[in-house]
């Protein structure tokens, strides 16, 4: 990122615009190929680590397409936890989903669990083993630039309130294209770092803000 004397907020806005435009310039075929490769790496990691159930997202616009990852899990009859935005709030509820047909357009037009789905109440046994998160940019420290709503940051903070100190927290994984890796993502104090980043180029173990 270029040197800039502006604060983190202004730097984030600038980087969001740049990265959104760059991601949108990828052709549909490029996104398909890179998404398939990234999801293959992600699924291999899930199988190796036994990271079931995991939480993921339904892709929107030019985001990395997570469908190959979800379909692999469903093919093996595994549940996938997907979020649903609570209308009129900045909160998300979590729901166990076993097929694409269980989703419907929700907030912002993004596919999410239908309203009839029972909510998963957060607690140690019900937390996912891993969380795959979309974003606009990532860095090698695990820095992530989201869309500015803070849904995932609030969710992660809420989980810290219910997870015993002795319990292993979920592994947070940024899922994106290799071109989304930047030198440094501007981070505020409340922004959470990813533990890993997975792209079509493979797996990057992050240093969590060091």
Task: Report the binding-site residues for ATP.
Answer: 12-16, 144-152
* DSSP string for residues in the chain: -----S-HHHHHHHHHHHHHHHHHTS-HHHHHHHHHHHHHHHHHHHHHHT--SEE-----TTS---HHHHHHHHHTT--EEEEEEPTTSS-EEEEEE-SGGGEEE-GGG-EEE-TTSPPBPPSGGGS-SEEEE--SEE-TT--EE--SS-HHHHHHHHHHHHS-TTSPPPEEEEE--GGGB-S-----TTPPPPSEEEETTEEEE--TT-
Domains and CATH numbers, the chain: 8-205 (3.40.50.10420)
Task: Report the binding-site residues for substrate.
Answer: 63
Percent of the chain, pLDDT > 70? 91
Task: Report the binding-site residues.
Answer: 12-16, 63, 144-152
Residue 138 confidence (pLDDT) above 50: yes
Confidence of residue 183 (pLDDT cuts 50, 70, 90): very high
What's the whole-number average pLDDT of the chain? 90
Percent of the chain, pLDDT > 90? 69
pLDDT of residue 209: 45
């Amino acid at each position: 990122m270029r040197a800039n004397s502006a604060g983190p907020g202004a730097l984030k806005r600038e980087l969001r615009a740049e990265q959104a435009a760059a991601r949108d310039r990828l052709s549909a075929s490029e996104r398909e190929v890179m998404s398939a490769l990234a999801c293959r790496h992600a699924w291999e990691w899930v199988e190796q680590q036994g990271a079931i159930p995991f939480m993921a997202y339904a892709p929107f616009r030019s985001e990395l397409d997570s469908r190959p990852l979800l379909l692999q899990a469903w093919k093996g009859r595994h549940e996938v936890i997907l979020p649903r935005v609570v209308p009129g709030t900045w909160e998300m509820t979590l729901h166990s989903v076993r097929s694409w047909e269980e989703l419907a357009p929700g907030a912002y037009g993004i596919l999410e669990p239908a309203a009839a789905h029972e909510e998963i109440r957060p607690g140690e046994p019900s937390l996912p083993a891993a969380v795959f998160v979309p974003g606009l940019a990532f860095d090698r420290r695990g820095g992530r630039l989201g869309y500015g709503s803070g849904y995932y940051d609030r969710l992660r903070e809420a989980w810290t309130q219910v997870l015993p100190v002795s319990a292993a927290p979920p592994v947070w994984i940024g899922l994106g294209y290799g071109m989304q890796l930047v030198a440094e993502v501007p981070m505020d104090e409340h922004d959470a770092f990813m533990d890993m980043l997975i792209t079509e180029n493979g797996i990057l173990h992050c240093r969590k803000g060091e």
